[in-house]
Amino acid sequence: MTRHSHTNRRAFLKTAGIGAAAAFAGCVGGGQTDANAAATGETGGEETETGGSSAEAASLDPAAEVDVDRIAADPTDVPDPVDWDEPRTHDVTMETTEVTAEIEPGVTFDYMTFDGRVPGPMVRVRRGDTVNFTLKNPEDSGLPHNMDFHAVYGPGGGADHTTIAPGEEANIQYTATYPGVHIYHCAVPNMDHHISAGMFGAILVEPKDGLPEVDRELYFGQHELYTNGETGEEGHHEWSVDAAKEEDPTYMAFNGEAYAFTQDGYGRIPVERDERVRLFLSNGGPNLNSSWHAIGNVWDKLYRDGDLVSDPARYVETTPVAPGTVTAAEIRTPVPGPIKIVDHSLTRVARKGLLGVLEVQGEQNSDIYDPDGESS
Ligand SMILES: [Cu+2]
């Protein structure tokens, strides 16, 4: 599935004529309008077209040819739950890839990834299992990479023994001795660059008794992209160490692309009414906390900081997710319509790309929410 072209989006924005503030908070009057359309309207094509940022536009090279059509991982791509009760060994191989892709249409960036997507693939094991991990750095890479698993007792979480130059590979083996959902990331000396370019993911170590069954699981990665351009400025954006030192990201996104999981991107993520959905959020950072919130919903069960052993917290509205953390939470879906997954530092949502939308499909449930009020 490909994103709508920026040409279509611009045409749409011109006719939408709505403000960002009204849009992301909830319903904007039905029809096709989506939060991101209004939000990106303020930062994207329109300003450039009126000439307001022409000096800045001249500072960027033209958009580069992309190596891949899509860098954003599919949030539904989650390994099946643990269904074994004896320790086993998992052979896990990942490849570090350096690829050019779009942050949003017309805006290209040089990503670095584990296995060509952001976030990297989720690894799922049971407490006590062994991971036989191989990291490969292709010959055509430009940089060394490595892997720091937060699920590991050992030097650098494995990074010390997986640092490899282009053309090399490394292998480590470890036992997942403690449960929880943990981040993994590249940890070479310029680690802020590598993580900001996409090199992070999650390893889920299920407790020996497993996790409660749910109807659906979704996996997101949040992170910051620090570039030499302005948000929405078309062209090729280079990594900017100055923006990183200021902790002033050009974009913040789920799965590496601005507004990827909205009608303006790859589409909303469909779920059914009356489901229990478990979400995982890996905050790669490298620097900023997420204030994770589901608009029009609540974290029915919150596995704070990825702690899968303590009793989950209940009915939490917004939870901090620190950089270097994966948090898990469950929602219920009793009412149809959109659930907007956000970082409640909302300027990031309105202006920098950080939004994902679930679409709950099913009949109205007017006992819980009646969109027509008393009239029905
Ligand atoms: Cu790296």
Tens-of-pLDDT digits for all 376 residues of the chain? 556 544 443 333 333 333 333 344 433 333 333 444 444 333 333 333 333 344 444 589 999 999 999 999 999 999 999 999 999 999 999 999 999 999 999 999 999 999 999 999 999 999 999 999 999 999 999 999 999 999 999 999 999 999 999 999 999 999 999 999 999 999 999 999 999 999 999 999 999 999 999 999 999 999 999 999 999 999 999 999 999 999 999 999 999 999 999 999 999 999 999 999 999 999 999 999 999 999 999 999 999 999 999 999 999 999 999 999 999 999 999 999 999 999 999 999 999 999 999 999 999 999 999 999 986 5
63 C-alpha to ligand 1 centroid (Å) = 23
Task: For residue 93, tell me if it sits in a domain.
Answer: yes
Chain-centre distance for alpha carbon 299: 18
Count of structural domains, the chain: 1
Give 105 Cα–ligand 1 centroid separation in angstroms: 25
Q: How many angstroms separate the alpha carbon of residue 337 from the centre of ligand 1?
A: 39
Q: Kindly give the residue spans of alpha helices, DSSP state H, lying in the chain.
A: 6-16, 20-25, 35-43, 45-49, 54-57, 191-196, 241-245, 347-351
Asked whether residue 160 is domain-assigned, the answer is: yes
Residue 157 lies in a domain: yes
- Beta-ladder partners of 149: 184
Burial of 83 (0-12, 13-18, 19+ CB in 10 A): exposed
Residue 132 belongs to domain spanning: 89-206
Percent helix, strand and coil across the chain, each to the nearest 5? 15, 35, 45
Task: Identify whether 359 is part of a domain.
Answer: no
256 vs 260: CA distance, rounded Å? 8
- In angstroms, the CA 48 to CA 274 distance is 44
Q: Give 162 Cα–ligand 1 centroid separation in angstroms.
A: 11
Return the CATH number at 97: 2.60.40.420
Q: Is 92 helix (H, G, I), strand (E, B) or coil?
A: strand
Residue 284's nearest CA partner among 162, 189, 193, 198 is 198
CB 262 within 8 A of CB 353: no
Nearest to 144 by CA among 111, 169, 172: 169
Query: Is 94 among the domain residues?
Result: yes
* Distance from the alpha carbon of residue 166 to the mean position of ligand 1, in angstroms: 11
Q: Is residue 255 part of a domain?
A: no
Find how far residue 224's CA is from the centre of its chain.
Answer: 10
In-domain check, residue 148: yes
Distance 148 CA to ligand 1 centre (A): 10
Is the distance from CB of 338 to CB of 296 less than 8 angstroms? yes
Which residues are paired to 320 by β-bridges?
Answer: 291
Residue 124 belongs to some domain of the structure: yes
Q: What is the largest CA-CA distance in the chain?
A: 68
CA pair distance 280, 321, nearest whole angstrom: 11
